[in-house]
Amino acid sequence: MFAVTVTTSTFVLVGAVFLACAVEMVEALTIVLAVGHTRGWRSAFEGTAVALVALSALVAVFGPALVHVPLNALRLVVGAVLLIFGLQWLRKAILRSAGLKAKHDEDAAYAEAVAELTNLSPEVNRDRVAFVMAFKGVFLEGLEVVITVLTLGTSAHRLGLAAIVAAIALILVGAIGLAVSRQLSAVPENAMKMGVGVMLVSFGTFWTGEGLRVRWPGSDASLLGFIALYLVVTWLLVGVTRRAMPAATKVAA
Amino acid sequence: MSAIAKRIVVGFGRFWWDFLVGDTPELFVAVVAVLVVIALVSVAAGANTWAVALLPVMVIGALATSVRRAANKRP
């Protein structure tokens, strides 16, 4: 019984952290690649490195501090944050799948960043614009990863595992991204975002309940029930929303 | 308070506002409502079965309302 519950929550935790990190990494990588290709790689890498150091410092400061917060209070706050964050992701993914919102196009994001950067005059030695753009891209996208890893990891008492999974996602997406370079649009981003949304809302429901002394039937295994329930609801909402909208109002993918 | 400290505090507040409220204030309000209702049902009344059923139902209601609101906003 113990082995089953550990496997269930670990499996869901690993999946949620990996997918969330991968999605954010793809978005950050698009910006870094655009900066590198147009303004040079040195400043792009420097901006990325400084952002990663800043993010690591945040984890080092807030990670250990979170462990000292009473567990029920932590789970309640984390559950509420995950619910809000997850519902936002899921809503956006549903609207995109239903054709009411344009899908996040990495090719378009890349082209936009390149156009913005090529209009600026080049700087010799250290390129401030390239540095700031790479830093901002990696730091802002990375901040969402840090919040996901810290909240999920500390609530489940598996911060180490969450951090390792995030690092694996970072290395994998980084390596694949550099290999395929400008073909990041091939990544099924909306499907991944939908998956992350479902998992975050499931964790949010679970931890909010635990924080408010709700005793879930099946304990940790109820997470799988939430995932199944929210997947069905998401599928229904996409279908209903798609059917309810006239074709003229739909956005091309 | 120095100008830099003020900028940091304002930036920190703005980040959390954008992160939690952003362009979907209805989701923020819905989650606060979930917390209040489930606290009343579970902690105050001790009705665990009701809390188990109500929490996911309220979450689904919040998501459906927000999606419907976004769909209705489109011309």
With a cut of 60, say whether residue A125 has pLDDT above it. no
Residue B33, min C-alpha distance to chain A (Å): 11
Query: What value does the mean pLDDT of chain A take?
Result: 80
CB pairs under 8 A between A and B: 94
Q: Taking the model in full, what pTM does it have?
A: 0.73
Q: Name chain A contacts of B28, Cβ cutoff 8 Å.
A: 84
With a cut of 60, say whether residue A163 has pLDDT above it. yes
Q: Is residue B7 in some structural domain?
A: no
DSSP state of A186: G
With a cut of 80, say whether residue A184 has pLDDT above it. no
Between chains, do A212 and B42 touch, taking CB under 8 Å as contact?
yes
Q: Name chain A contacts of B48, Cβ cutoff 8 Å.
A: 214-215
Q: Where are the domains of chain A?
A: 2-249
Tell which wins on pLDDT, A219 or A252.
Answer: A219
Q: Is residue B14 in some structural domain?
A: no
Overall number of domains in chain B: 1
- In the structure, what pLDDT confidence band is assigned to residue A65 with cuts at 50, 70 and 90? confident
Residue A172, min C-alpha distance to chain B (Å): 27
pLDDT cut 70: percent of chain A above it: 81
With a cut of 70, say whether residue A187 has pLDDT above it. no
Q: Name chain A contacts of B35, Cβ cutoff 8 Å.
A: 76, 80, 208, 212
Q: Is residue B34 in some structural domain?
A: yes
Q: What ranges in chain A are assigned the alpha helix state H?
A: 2-39, 41-67, 71-97, 106-118, 128-155, 159-180, 189-211, 222-244
Q: Name chain A contacts of B20, Cβ cutoff 8 Å.
A: 81, 84
Region for A123 from its dihedrals, namely left if φ exceeds 0, alpha if ψ lies in -120 to 50, beta otherwise: beta
Q: How does pLDDT run across B5-63, given as a tens digit for each residue?
A: 888 788 878 878 888 888 899 999 999 999 999 999 988 888 899 999 999 999 999 99
Q: Is residue B32 in some structural domain?
A: yes
Region for A213 from its dihedrals, namely left if φ exceeds 0, alpha if ψ lies in -120 to 50, beta otherwise: left
Q: Which domain holds residue B31?
A: 22-73
Weakest-pLDDT range from A5-9, A204-208, A234-238: A5-9
With a cut of 70, say whether residue A210 has pLDDT above it. yes
